[in-house]
């Protein structure tokens, strides 16, 4: 029987989201060969080792923190929330783009999400891991972190459920759990593909166990599709709720610059903004390193740039309203805080934030910038920096300059603050390196489904193959 030739029965015509002539077989090969066939190159090993070294910096910084306590950080009265909270908000915000891509764009039937959802979800999980470390470290006694959870205890006390900080515990842990499950469910059919393509006994056993013995039966797929949609429906309000709850940590307090009702929407928009920037920061090198240009096209990058531009404008609106309300509201503490941001000791940080988050991204209106890979990569780094600075401005300027001049004070991060932050960046990249090597980084079954739809659309009635294959 003419077997292998039959896989070229029908190929897709090139389209902006799927370049080249693709079949079920070509997309499957392309995605799974990265895990199974491709040699681990020197670039991967070098990058992996560098990241591993930075993970060790994290280990040392955390070990010393446990030994000495949070006093090694720059936090003090009045600025008791320093890098730990800045980094927490920044990392959790980055995670939001992954859920947006996998859940909201799925419900909106945006076809272009298919190539990017897998590693965006992975990014979410690793970002939430980094985020989760910070509140625990910031408690000072992380071995008592379980006190945050409601459990019957001999002290007879419970968490104070009226506090946004406790809401945060529930929001973030729910988010971490569901992101992980959503990602894993998406992986099951692709892990089965890896199991079936592998020639190595150990790989077959490991991937066979991980895919739970998936075999793609009709009823299995039916249930699978049902839960994909329902999970997306559950994750959509969840992702909005998470950063809303994070913003309440600030907005419920009476600190000037925090106590404002615009925080929830503008935190959520900012989260998506920084998240898409991080997806671009990861997608562009992965695309180049693994030659994914046919599956991850310039159109995908451009769409992400457009979302960045849109959410960036919402963030700009948030800043503008904050300033407007400070003056229009006539509260002297609010006004004084805004003037302090503009002209006070942290003015450099503030104006850098405005440059990175508002001014420079306006270049994205230009299509030439949106379709230039190098420019987009730089832009994504700029926005990531800008969003980190935004959290710095929110956390620090509010606290350092509140109601009484006798309470004014400065915040100076120490080397240990930087070490922990750098360490989580290393940990995040370290996990991404492992992910790219051992897990199919593009959703194979969804790509095959897309090939199928494209074949149907271009008039090859989905798979109306000639009556007898051997005739070809």
Partner 1 sequence: MANGENIYGLMAEFTMPAQVLEAGRRTHAAGYRKIDAYSPFPVHGLDEVLGFKRSKLPLLILCGALAGMFGGFFMQYFANVIHFPINIGGRPYDSWVAFIPITFECTILIGGLTCVFGMVALNGLPQPYHPVFNIERFERASQDRFFLCVEAKDPMFDLAKTEAFLKSLNPFDVYVVPMGRVPKADRAELTEHPE
State the minimum distance, in angstroms, from the CB of residue 303 to partner 1: 23
- Cα–Cα nearest to 301, from 51, 79, 130, 115: 115
CB 432 within 8 A of CB 94: no
- Cα–Cα nearest to 277, from 431, 443, 93, 18: 93
Which CB atom, from 123 or from 232, has the smaller least distance to partner 1? 232
CB 347 within 8 A of CB 355: no
150 binds partner 1 (CB under 8 A): yes
State the minimum distance, in angstroms, from the CB of residue 239 to partner 1: 10
Subset of 130-149 contacting partner 1 (CB under 8 A): none
# binding residues, partner 1 (CB under 8 A) = 75
Subset of 151-210 contacting partner 1 (CB under 8 A): 156-162, 164, 166-167, 170-171, 174, 177-178, 181-182, 184-185, 189, 192-193, 195-197, 208-209
DSSP states of 137-172: HHTS-GGGGGGGS----TT-----TTSHHHHHHHHH
Alpha helices in 367-408 (DSSP H): 367-370, 373-392, 398-400
Subset of 49-88 contacting partner 1 (CB under 8 A): none
Q: Cα–Cα distances in Å, from 367 out to 297, 384, 417? A: 15, 21, 39
Which CB atom, from 179 or from 357, has the smaller least distance to partner 1? 179
- Cα–Cα nearest to 59, from 418, 413, 415, 427: 427
State the minimum distance, in angstroms, from the CB of residue 108 to partner 1: 19
Which CB atom, from 227 or from 359, has the smaller least distance to partner 1? 227
State the minimum distance, in angstroms, from the CB of residue 308 to partner 1: 27
CB 119 within 8 A of CB 441: yes
Query: In angstroms, rounded to a whole number, what is the distance separating the alpha carbons of residues 190 and 35?
Result: 11
Subset of 221-240 contacting partner 1 (CB under 8 A): 221-227, 230-231, 234-235, 237-238
State the minimum distance, in angstroms, from the CB of residue 163 to partner 1: 8
State the minimum distance, in angstroms, from the CB of residue 252 to partner 1: 10
Which CB atom, from 9 or from 381, has the smaller least distance to partner 1? 9
State the minimum distance, in angstroms, from the CB of residue 241 to partner 1: 6
What is the CB neighbour count within 10 angstroms for residue 40? Answer: 9
Tell me the two tokens of residue 276.
């898409």
Dihedral sign from CA coordinates of 244, 246, 251, 256:
negative
**Residue 13 C-alpha from the chain's centroid:** 32
- Cα–Cα nearest to 393, from 264, 209, 230, 258: 258
Which CB atom, from 150 or from 409, has the smaller least distance to partner 1? 150
State the minimum distance, in angstroms, from the CB of residue 205 to partner 1: 9
Q: Per CB under 8 A, which region of 3-11, 76-84, 253-261, 349-357 contacts partner 1?
A: 3-11
Torsion angle of the four alpha carbons 37, 41, 44, 49, in this order, in degrees rounded to the nearest 10: 120
Contacts of 393 (CB under 8 A, 6+ apart): 341, 346, 349, 350, 353
Query: Which of 77, 202, 218, 348 contacts partner 1 by CB under 8 A?
Result: 218
The length of the chain is 472
Which CB atom, from 172 or from 420, has the smaller least distance to partner 1? 172
217 binds partner 1 (CB under 8 A): yes
8 binds partner 1 (CB under 8 A): no
Subset of 9-38 contacting partner 1 (CB under 8 A): 9-10, 23-25, 28
Subset of 286-325 contacting partner 1 (CB under 8 A): none
State the minimum distance, in angstroms, from the CB of residue 455 to partner 1: 9
Which CB atom, from 75 or from 235, has the smaller least distance to partner 1? 235
Q: Per CB under 8 A, which region of 14-22, 271-279, 306-314, 455-463 contacts partner 1?
A: 455-463
Subset of 346-375 contacting partner 1 (CB under 8 A): none
Q: Cα–Cα distances in Å, from 140 out to 49, 133, 155, 168? A: 30, 12, 21, 18
State the minimum distance, in angstroms, from the CB of residue 30 to partner 1: 12
Residue 18 has φ and ψ, to the nearest 5°, of: -150, 100
Query: Which of 219, 348, 374, 404 contacts partner 1 by CB under 8 A?
Result: 219
Site string for partner 1, 381-420 (x = CB under 8 A): ----------------------------------------
State the minimum distance, in angstroms, from the CB of residue 17 to partner 1: 17
Subset of 433-452 contacting partner 1 (CB under 8 A): 445-446, 448-449, 452
State the minimum distance, in angstroms, from the CB of residue 170 to partner 1: 4
Contacts of 247 (CB under 8 A, 6+ apart): 263, 264, 266, 267, 268
Query: In angstroms, rounded to a whole number, what is the distance separating the alpha carbons of residues 440 and 447?
Result: 12
- Is the link from the previous residue into 411 a cis peptide, with omega within 30 of 0? no
Subset of 247-276 contacting partner 1 (CB under 8 A): 248
Which CB atom, from 158 or from 327, has the smaller least distance to partner 1? 158
């Amino acid at each position: 029987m003419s077997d292998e030739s039959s896989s070229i029965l029908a190929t897709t015509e090139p389209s902006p989201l799927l370049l080249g002539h693709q079949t079920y077989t070509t997309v499957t090969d392309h995605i799974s060969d990265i895990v199974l066939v491709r040699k681990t190159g020197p670039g991967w090993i070098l990058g992996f080792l560098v990241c591993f070294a930075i993970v060790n910096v994290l280990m040392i910084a955390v070990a010393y923190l446990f030994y000495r306590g949070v006093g090694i950080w720059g936090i003090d009265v009045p600025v008791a929330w320093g890098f730990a909270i800045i980094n927490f908000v920044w990392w959790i915000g980055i995670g939001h783009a992954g859920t947006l891509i996998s859940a909201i764009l799925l419900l909106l039937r945006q076809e272009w999400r298919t190539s990017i959802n897998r590693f965006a979800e992975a990014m979410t999980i690793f970002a939430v891991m980094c985020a989760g470390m910070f509140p625990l470290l910031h408690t000072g006694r992380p071995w008592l972190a379980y006190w945050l959870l409601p459990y019957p205890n001999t002290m007879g006390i419970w968490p104070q459920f009226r506090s946004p900080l406790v809401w945060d515990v529930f929001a973030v842990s729910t988010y971490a759990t569901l992101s992980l499950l959503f990602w894993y469910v998406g992986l099951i059919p692709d892990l089965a593909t890896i199991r079936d393509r592998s020639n190595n006994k150990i790989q077959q056993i490991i991937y066979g166990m991980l895919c739970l013995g998936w075999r793609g039966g009709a009823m299995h797929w039916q249930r699978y599709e049902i839960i994909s949609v329902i999970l997306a429906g559950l994750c959509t309000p969840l992702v909005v709720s998470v950063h809303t709850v994070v913003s309440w940590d600030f907005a419920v307090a009476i600190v000037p610059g925090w106590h404002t009702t615009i925080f929830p929407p503008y935190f959520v928009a900012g989260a998506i903004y920084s998240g898409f920037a991080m997806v671009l920061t990861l997608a562009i090198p992965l695309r180049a390193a693994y030659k994914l240009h046919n599956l991850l096209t310039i159109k995908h990058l451009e769409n992400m740039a457009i979302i960045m531009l849109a959410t960036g404008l919402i963030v700009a609106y948030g800043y503008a309203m904050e300033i407007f309300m400070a003056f229009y509201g006539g509260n002297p503490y609010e006004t004084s805080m805004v003037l302090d941001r503009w002209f006070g000791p942290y003015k450099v940080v503030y104006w850098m934030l405005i440059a990175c988050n508002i001014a420079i991204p306006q270049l994205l209106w230009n299509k030439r910038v949106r379709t230039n890979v190098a420019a987009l990569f730089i832009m994504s780094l700029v926005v990531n920096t800008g969003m980190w600075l935004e959290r710095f401005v929110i956390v620090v300027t509010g606290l350092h300059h509140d109601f009484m001049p006798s309470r004014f004070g400065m915040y100076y991060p120490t080397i240990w603050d930087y070490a922990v932050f750098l360490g989580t960046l290393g940990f995040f990249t370290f996990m991404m390196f492992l992910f790219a090597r051992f897990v199919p980084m593009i959703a194979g079954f969804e790509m095959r489904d897309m090939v199928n739809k494209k074949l149907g659309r271009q008039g090859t009635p989905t798979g109306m193959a000639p009556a007898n294959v051997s005739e070809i």
